[in-house]
Chains A and B, each alone.
Chain A
Amino acid sequence: MATAKAVTKNRERLLAFAIVVSLLAGWVVGWSRHHSDVAGFLQQGLPDAVRFESEQDDIYAGLTDAQSESETVGYVAIRSAPGYAGPVTVAVGLDPNGTVVNAVLVRQTESPAFFRKVADKGFPGRFKGKACSDPFEIGDDVDSVTGATVTLTALTEAIRLACSDIATGRLGLPPVVRPRPPIQFGLPEILLILLIATGFAAHAKKLPGGPTIRWVVLIASLVFVGFVWRRPVSLANINSLLIGYWPGWQNGVYWCVLLAALLVPAILTGKTPYCSHICPFGAAQEILVKVGGSKRQLPPKYGRLFKILQRALAWIAVMCALIFRNPTAISYEAPATLFTFIGANWQFVLLALILIASLFIARPWCNALCPIRAVTDYLRLLRRNFGR
């Protein structure tokens, strides 16, 4: 008996280890893919350079000829800043005086309509000739584009980052002090923190009338986190974190609080009060099962099968995100479809099937498909095996 346990333990450790290795490999593949195709952009960024030498921090030195002691005509830096739908990445070439030689777009995943507005006004080429010490302030030295503020902000910020990194890191110019962008902290953030605090307290059985409070929090979360703000935790957030895209300051506080509410308890205690007490899609499923009047769980036979499916799908989604460096490379998240009501046809069918199944089975999404559950399960596996 004891040996069987030991075998399971060993197998678990092996699995946990294999997953870590695969994720690391995925990250490295994605990173190198990302960095192998920059040569063309480097040349556009600094047309006078004959060859480029890769230096630290994603900065490339542009050299006049193939000789080892040839002259440096400038530097190109590749930088990103978070836009509306993922990072906006640019390559910026600076001459030794700190003037922008050229700025070219490397990659962006904004909605075409938004990006077109910015491109129509001649961005990012319009940054040509700017000094790296300029304020890079929209409405001041950068013309604004109505209806595409977030995209233009991202583009400007990426170019500013490139300029200031080259200026301070290579040209020895003093850093330009900029006022910090205001932190988004309003009613949604306060309400969210309140919801999470109440939910956690109910989960820890610190409140009288726990079950009632759990329902109140769940319904409030369904209304606000779900339908009003439309921003529950999704695998895309975790993918962004793994890839290394930090959320933009616009939504920073909200995301940090929400992700912390999910991940911190899972890591520290192995429990997931977010899932049982706060998740708006969990709330929707629980309401539906109350409507259906059923107490059934997934039958254990299928339950095991679904667990494997759930974790395998989540692993595939994370791997693709890492390899393609796109947090939403594969997205099958029904909550997003429900709350935003935007999605491909198959996503609507999936959502409908889950909602109808919720009438008869307790939380089918959580138990059979939710990738967040797979992630927390994995964290628990790590904790169990490597915890102490």
Chain B
Amino acid sequence: MSFFEGGLFWFTEGVLACLAIIALRTWTQDKGIRMPFWKWPVVCTWVLFLGVSIAYVGTSLGEGERHAAFLGAVCAAVIASVSGVVVWRLLRL
């Protein structure tokens, strides 16, 4: 079993996610962005979408489906950009 399928991998992912969330908190405080509770799930969903998209591209490449990986990347880029702008404007509220 390789590292990427094991529990240690997901543990590391969890640690990294925690660090990212703490960093996001500090960053918003420095920027003077208010972070009421509803903004957290919005940001998390966006990051999750990004993560799933990257994973999809990776899985498709792994399967040998280059066309699917390419289209997936293009679609994800558009959706992530558009929703990213929306999330950004919501954050600035």
A in complex with B: yes
- A residues with a Cβ closer than 8 A to B are 288, 291-293, 345, 348-349, 351-352, 355-356, 359
Which one of A288, A292, A293, A348 contacts B74 once the chains associate, using CB atoms below 8 Å?
Answer: A348
A359 to chain B, nearest CB (A): 5
Decide if B70 touches A356 in the complex (CB within 8 Å).
Answer: no
Interchain CA distance A95-B71 in the complex, whole Å: 55
**Contact A352-B70, Cβ < 8 Å, known A292-B85, A293-B89, A359-B85:** no
Q: For the complex formed, measure the closest distance between the CB of B16 and the CB atoms of chain A, giving whole angstroms.
A: 27
Main DSSP-derived SS at the B contact region: helix
B82 contacts which of A345, A348, A349, A359 (Cβ < 8 Å)?
A: A359
Chain B residue at minimal CB-CB distance from A354: B78
Which residues of A lie under 8 Å from residue B82 when comparing CB positions?
A: 288, 291, 355-356, 359
- The residue of chain B having its C-beta at the shortest distance from the C-beta of A356 within the complex is B81
- For residue A25, give the distance in angstroms from its CB to the closest CB of chain B: 39
The interface of chain B, by Cβ under 8 A from chain A, is: 70-71, 74-75, 77-78, 81-82, 85-86, 89
Residues of B within 8 A of A349 (CB): 74
Bound complex: CA A359 to CA B77 (Å): 13
17 A-B residue pairings within 8 Å (CB atoms): A291-B86, A292-B85, A345-B70, A348-B70, A348-B71, A348-B74, A351-B74, A352-B77, A352-B78, A355-B78, A355-B82, A356-B77, A356-B78, A356-B81, A356-B82, A359-B81, A359-B82
Contacts of A291 in B (CB 8 A): 82, 85-86
Q: Which B residues touch A355, using CB under 8 A?
A: 78, 81-82
**Alpha-carbon separation in the docked complex, A356 to B77 (Å):** 8
Bound: A345/B78 CA distance, A: 15
Closest CB in chain B relative to A61 CB, distance in Å: 52
**How far, in angstroms, from A356 to B78 measured CA to CA in the complex?**
6
Instruction: Give B46 Cβ to nearest chain A Cβ, in Å.
Output: 14
Shortest Cβ distance from residue B89 to the other chain A in the assembled complex, whole angstroms: 6
